[in-house]
Amino acid sequence: MIETTDKPSLDPESKETRKVLFQALNGVLGLAHKKIHFSNGNSDAAKRAWCRILIQGVATYGTLLHDAELEALSARVKLLEERKNE
């Protein structure tokens, strides 16, 4: 596997995409929380399904946060390398 310096996450559009994904996940997580806790008519199977959606949403949210942190660290390292080379 060949490592390149041009990572897809360094694309300026990825920040906007990530922002949209965060907004969508906020909606999904809120809906799942409501369906689990406040719906009296839901069966146990439906609540379990909403719990699985909630768990997957939280995992995805964590991955997006991790990617954002890596992108910020990469930018900081690049800036430090540029300062070092001056």
Residue that the structure tokens 């490592």 belong to:
3
- pTM score, two decimals? 0.68
b/e code 41-68 from CB counts within 10 Å (16+ = b): eeeeeeeeebeebbeebeebbeebeebb
> Are 36 and 54 a contacting pair, CB within 8 Å?
yes
Is the pLDDT score of 8 beyond 60? Answer: no
Task: Give the separation between CA 33 and CA 51, rounded to whole angstroms.
Answer: 8
Residue that the structure tokens 């995992």 belong to:
59
Residue 5 forms part of a structural domain: no
Q: How confident is the model at residue 1 (pLDDT cuts 50, 70, 90)?
A: very low
What range defines the domain where residue 19 resides?
Answer: 14-85
Residue 7 forms part of a structural domain: no
Say how many domains are in the chain.
Answer: 1
pLDDT digits (tens, 9 = 90+) for 40-77: 777 888 899 999 999 999 999 999 999 889 989 999 99
